[in-house]
Amino acid sequence: LPDEAKRFATITEEFQTISSKMFQAKTAVKATHLRAPPFLLNRFNRMDERLELIQRALEIYLETKRQLFPRFYFISNDDMLEILGNAKRPDLVQTHLKKLFDNLYKLELKRVGKTLNRWQGSGMYSDDGEFVEFQQVLYIDGPSERWLRQVEEYMFTVMKELLKLTRRSLKKLIGNREKWIFLWPGQMVLTTAQIQWTTECTRSLIHCNMVDQKKPLRKLKRKQIKVLSKLSEMSRKELTKIMRL
């Protein structure tokens, strides 16, 4: 908004000039009668009208950015301006990530290039300190809305792939759930466990319908009780904060 920035600077300079003269006048009567009334009132009203036009232009500009990256709708105009103004400083944008993404605390960032003027991201941390590595390096460049959209895409990609790997791992370690839990991120463990539970319940219900008895469901109940007992035992062991969560 170069034109609006110039207009705002002009209004600021004009207001500072008037304020300085009013301060030098010492008394309220003299300060408000620098020229015959209602000169100051009319001048302030015109300044206010010009500021409203600048504000409207700013809101239109921010709306175009929000349409490019809808998660900007989650934050205030002030936060958004800070993000847009620090497009080349992702380390300063980090403080706003929690407002844009649920439980995303920060990115693993590193300066690169001969002059260390570029940034790359290799993974993300949750608010609890759990780390998930991206499948490929994220090079942070260009407008904020562009590289934040890339962060979102990288997040979806890595979580989708991790979910597949976590499910495969559970099939291999079905008899050693304790080891399996510690191998994968918490969100993937919870999601996979829910998928597995739903799948087994569905199969048992279908089997019950086929044999016309509840034996398959009772068998599944005993299995789930064993799983819960094992998890209960694990919770009484010495665990890190992340593992306990």
Sorted by where each begins, the domain ranges of the chain are 2-68, 71-143, 173-244
Domain at 71-143: CATH code: 3.20.180.20
**pLDDT tens for residues 198-216?**
999 999 999 998 888 888 8
pLDDT of res. 245? 59
Q: Which of 240, 125, 230 is nearest to 180 (CA)?
A: 230
**pLDDT tens for residues 168-184?**
999 888 778 888 888 89
Cα 206–chain centre separation: 41
pLDDT of res. 29? 84
**pLDDT tens for residues 130-154?**
899 999 999 998 999 999 999 999 9
pLDDT of res. 116? 80
**pLDDT tens for residues 49-82?**
999 999 999 999 999 999 999 999 999 999 999 9
Q: Which of 153, 159, 154, 224 is nearest to 187 (CA)?
A: 159
pTM of model > 0.75: yes
pLDDT of res. 7? 93
